[in-house]
Structure 1
Amino acid sequence: MSSLAQDDSQQRAELRIAFLKHLPKRLQQLARRGHRYCTEGWDINGLSVLHEDVQRLAGVAGRYGELEVSQTLHSLEGLLERSLGVEQLPNAESSEQMLGLFEALAPERAVAPPRAKQESAAHSGQVARAEASPSHYWRRWAPDNRSALRLVGQTAPAAPAAPLTLALEGEPPEEFSAAKPTPGPAVRPVAAVPAPAKAPTTTTPRRPAAAVKQAARIYHLTDAGELSLELDQKLEAMGYELELLENAAELKEILTALAPDLVVVDAEFLGDLESVGAVLRVTRERTGTKLPLLAISAEDNVPARLTARRAGADALLIAPKSAADVLQKLQELLESGREETYRVLIVEDDRSQGLFAESILRNAGMEARVIGNAFEVLDAMDQFHPDLVLMDLYMPDCDGTELTALIRERDEFLHTPIVFLSGESDIDKHYQALDAGGDDFLSKPIRPKHLISAVSNRVRRARAMLRRVSTRDPKDALTGLFTRSYTLERLNELLGSEDARSRPGGVLFFDLDGVAALRDKLGLSHVEGLLGEAGTMISEALDGVEFACRYGDGCFVAVCPERPDGSMESVATEVRNLLRSHSFSVAGRPVRLRVSVGVAPFRFGFADAGSLLNAAERCAREARASETGVLRFDPPKRGESEAQDSLTALVRQAIDRDGFELLYQPIVAVQGSEESQFQTLLRLRDDQGRLHTAAEIIPTAERADLMADVDRWVMNQALRMIELRRQAGNPVRLFVNQAATTLASAGHSDWIAHQLRVRNIPGTELTLELTLEDIDTYLDAIVEFCEALIPSGVHFCLSRFETGNRGDVVLEKLPVDFVKLSARYLSTLQTQGTRDALRGIVDRAHRRGLQVIAQRVEDAQSAATLWMSGVDYIQGNLVQQAGRELNFDFQSAVL
């Protein structure tokens, strides 16, 4: 597959990953809003906005394979649509149905995290370290807590004059009074599992929804400082099961009873860290889990780092500036604790040795695969994607040193650890193996524990480096551009925030025209240097919180999260003018860029980063024809939106129920020919009998990511018609249009070739029509597609052709047999300039052995002018209108 096709495939994969990562949060927010409306009452604006959000999210979730979620969302969409259709708020029965769907959509639905109000003046002076307590902090006063009732840093009085009252937002104040009989600290046995928190009053408080979520259990040895309390609030709001501990003895005691998923130790307890680490090691061995330890230090010095290392801490944070920094590291450790099984490829020609190593690694919880033939290793790596290769040094036909060199030639395996396992004692041989690309050398015989440790350490470090490259350092230091995956992640995060519809900001999509032509003229390395310089200019023109990335071949995306809506177009214009006025020097030649910009604000409720960027890209393409070169996205009006939604549903239904129609229009030789050939034209009839044209169907299918399905339906019907005509003894050639995205997709050429074989159809009876303006981005992949079908005899036609840099470059690369002229030439056919240009196009095409087709010919005068220009075929209503039957008399058709 070409690099452009691979890049496009990678874009789609990154879009999917970024969307799915934030989907649970989006569903929680949607469920929270829905629950509030269903239980507290509806308003018409909220109903409309909720319907739009559900509708958008349903389509994207289905596209990315979340079928169950998509089905639930579609059910909600139907219920909401029913109320909007009759312009009435949902009744009690509908609300009850929707409530069940919202609960099914996000069982862990979280209400707004409760925040503790400030205590009364009588107690405010007693709190020494922080003003606000995190949610669930009332567990310190619960009867199942080991500690006696006390304020932070205080000893509880035997009988306080008044009960301590905490008012949670949205809930009535609850009293926690030490005057009532409560058990002392000895009630909970040392080795007992902590009991669930209970309110020590006769009224049972409503349980915060965050506590319902079965998430990771975290023990926090807290100093109750401001940062710690903020961290605890965030953790509880995110649904983590949090146990707050005030001294190291408490932590060590509870570790012997119940293992958590992670332990956090604040800076105040650095002196106790080693003793905590010792207990933690025992717990890790007892439970067989990694059980990460995160330590915090107030100062960066060698004793602190040594203490953390001796304690076995997985991470040490030095004076974190905010709770967000701690939270990020905490989530990294939790994710690493739940990471995929280590995959090890064992290359060993001695079967018994290979099975020995495999059994050791499998018993250690790793996935291992043994390859005995060196020639099969590269294929195995493509299929298995190992985290590490355990390589024998001596093998027949290809030794380990040579094989390592071959592996390192592949970019995707450049950083895969390769460890040699051999009985070779010659140190020079060791150096040769390491010089070929090996990372380590282990000597046989090796103890199982040593093998497991060596492999685990290497894989763990390799994965940590990969995570660091992809998340911690997502920025290119040279250009200032961020990675595409990081940008998509941030966009989905911004679109998933609760204030997405009211927040400022958006994206700018910079489209640099003619990059493919420049690459062919100047070379790949020179053009990449030019694009790097352009990217740097875009990055430097942005404000501090704004950032940009290279999104595709000649496309850049700038993310402006805080910029007011009104200034988005002005900054787009400024940066565009900066790029257009700059004279780039490439290989000693001055080059100026043609740039158009699409602007898409966040506030229009895009379902995901892909939808947002598609809208911005469409605006950038349309801006090419505008005077300013900048176009801002405006959503369709409600009537237009409903019409689009209706057409999308109609297209889906037509795919499922074979509901499209194909019309046929003859393509007639100007000089006369008996060969029958027709253009296929896609149509779709709605319930009112209106016939929708391809100009309406295709944009709708592209927006809904249904184009591949539509193209396959058209191709199936066209091949079926060719097959029927052959069986009747009336062979025909059909011109069939296919979208560039479909042609560039993997496997489409194989599918067409297979269909031709099983139907016994000569490829010469099929001509695939490729539209010039669509294929530029996918040119290399489409060239590969065409070359794969040439052996089958398939012909190709370049449609809507216009002479110029882009048209000439595409024509030079594609193995086409026909050129179909742009309708622009027909509209100005009577001008001398157009006629001269037309003759030039026809002459050049004929010299290349190509035939020229003029389409949309409506009158005899135009046909005569085209005949004089040397055009080979004409198509249009002058010849015959499109119809369902292929009944044109080609033998009698002569101009």
Structure 2
Amino acid sequence: MPAADTQQRAELRLAFLRHLPRRIDVIAQRARRFLRDGWDINGLSVLHEDVQRLSGVAGRYGEVAASERLTVLEGVLAESLARQVLPDAEADAQLQQLIDDLAPAPLAPHEQGVEAPRVPHSTSDRSEVAPPRYWRRWAGDAPPPAAQTRDAVDHAAADVTAFEPDADTTPDPGRPRDPAPEPAARPEPAPEPVRILRSVPTTPLPPPSPAAPRALTPVPPPMPPAGIGTRRRVYHLSDGNRVSVELDQRLETLGYELELLDNGDELKELLGAVAPDAVLVDAGFIEEIESIGAVLQHTRERSGARIALVAISAEDSMQSRLAARRAGANALLLRPQGASEVLGKLDELLNAARDETYRVLIVEDDRSQALFAESILRNAGMEARVVTDAFEVLDAMAGFKPDMVLMDLYMPQCDGTELTALIREREEFLHTPIVFLSGESDQDKHFEALSVGGDDFLSKPIRPKHLIASVSNRVQRARAVRARAALRDPVDPDTGLYHRSYLLDRVNESIDQGNGGDRSGGVLFIEIDNVPDLRERLGLSNVETLLRDLSRYVVRHIGEGMLASRYGDACFVVFDGAGEGASLETQARYLRDRVNGHSFIVSGQPIRLRAAVGVTAFEHAFADAGAALNAAERACRQARLTDVGVRRFEPPRRAEQEQNDALTATLRRAIDGDALELLYQPIVALQGGEDAQYQTLVRMRDEAGRIHAAAQIVPLARAAGLLPALDRWVLGHALQVIDERRSELRPVKLFVSQSAASLAEAGHGDWLANQIGARKLAGDSLIIELVARDVADRLQETLAFCTALVAHGVRFCLSQYRAVPDIDGVLELLPVDFLKLDGRYFEPNAPAGTRDEIRLIVERSHRRGLSVIAPRVEDAQSAAQLWMSGVDYIQGNLVQLAGRELEFDFQSAVL
């Protein structure tokens, strides 16, 4: 073996060994989660695949002990897969022992010498309190949580909106209430899942170790985009730009296994250890793309996998294009405007890598020669079929639909030249590549065969490597030609949807033509908001069938002359080149009502979808299609909070803008001049308690003496970049109140709202830690309240802030909580002690079954050791119902109106 190869193998082995313990720990955590929560057949298959792959690599690099243990684990999993059954109790016990041998479980609290859990404030047996300092597990000094069961009920997907301030429970006198947002519809009872088997263990098993860091992905994660049946592993060499951060959040939400890297050498090292499904390289590392591509090519050859490489460049230059090509990049994206563009390309490449099995028809009368060629192509991952009788070729082509025909020139009864002419007479085979495999050296024979429709000659004998390369290149070019032809005929004949690129071109043309003055036309952005939940219930293939049925339904119900395209996993765009604002909104309402009112049948079960529609008219002079679609998407997100589910984009009006500018200037002066005000509203324990705790509410008084609540001033602060300053002002004054009350021997606990943007501000965490230390405050007297949707957009920064502050005793409350997968994923990761329910659960027109949903949330929260707070409680009947549901605390006008004094009598409070 050459010395260079030996050195390279040693380097690859060293890199793999460094990453092996982490990979084993990830597999162990996933297995323990299945053992605790119950198996499903898809998860079992994915786990088996990952164990099998890691076992093989470990053996190849000489890690015999690890390889043997993994092989035994693989065998137990394979046995269940072979019988198409889930592991039973006996198999679970065997798997538990194998996992413990592979990656020992963390010690129990008593084995670590940790003090016993404190007695909870409530004696109800429905609650379970985590061990002391459990939420400090990120600091590395906490025991694991006690064994716990988890609820198996999943809910509809979350809507992700911008940060909203905590709902003010005390509206100003005379100020009308804002329109009530549409309450969260309770999911319909799930039909029997299709191809998803699940078992729920009757006794809880120890949870996975909390010490190992894990990807910021909701648990259980939603499945990846439509058509992807397993979790895809993506390495992202990120320079931290805006698009990259958004992209990472969306990849994690979609269920990709994401590995974030900020160093090219680290990426190369990781590629040498474990092969991913795709690699993303940001523009900041474009100069390293060639060296990365060289390492990636070795990984492709070693693993035999088609690893997609996507490079991003900030400029369109010959150098960057050439570097990407030399690196073997599958795609070079130039200045992508948003994460959707990168996600679309990544989804396209991964789907292509999965579905791209080349189909080759081998026409050869010599069976031994045919089987030799077939075995070579099959070993290369292609699907090959042999036909030894020339008279059966046309039927075989009709059934097999090959990408290419590999044909012998000389055959009895009908030679290759005659057979090629017959094939070319069929319209559907007119462009199918036909390559002759022959030892014929006569150039006239070659010309004759090519003249009737043959494409090329390969001379016998041919080396396997050359055969594979020739076939691959031919098929790739043929498929590229077909793809371009499809763009020239841009309509999907099955659904009637237009290709996205074609629709975007039409939108851009309409906008360009309107720049002369006539700005007619617009787009509708339609989003189905319960698709992730349906994917969990029905499986990927059934949901994709459902979405194709929906596509046909949308095409049938749009107006004449309109074009529709599928824009994302569960999003559609409708383009109307002649409509204006009012007519577009009418069409949007019609489509939304039709989709929401229709029952789609999947596997015999009726399925109802929930759609929201954003409307954008081109009259607002957008620069291009991207700007128009962004406006429509924002309007769609706002529409999800309304009763009608439709929202038209409206730019800020001039008078409103002037008023907002004036209020912003007043806010800036109030922050600088220490002129804001704080109000306080009690948060009372339904089971009784003596702790004095209040919600802190900020107010601003303008020059005319009018009071402006947080719901008015926080959006202005965000738009003007004043939100960190506003949050720090509120936090500083809250700490001052806590300090003063402590000196008066009247301790108080304050809930203080903070935005995720402020938590991400450089130095904010250090400032707060210094304030607590300088005042020598008990950290648990401050509860920082975070809005769930706000946190979901800045999860990494929020997690870093919370990790640092739990060391100072600060506690956290997640507010505006709704039982949806995205927010549940946030809840799993953050060190939260309190959960404040979303206010829409308490609206007067809340749907039937809301009380049951609240009870379910409370039960799940108590199993996690969390206390639940209900805001906006206005009457005693609601309080009684919440008490029966197990809610721990209530807040609202029933308890007391917000005021400047902190004099509520918590000891004598009777509700």
Q: TM-score, normalised by structure 2?
A: 0.41
Query: Which structure has the higher relative contact order (CA within 8 Å, separation 6+)?
Result: 2
Bigger-Rg structure (1/2):
1
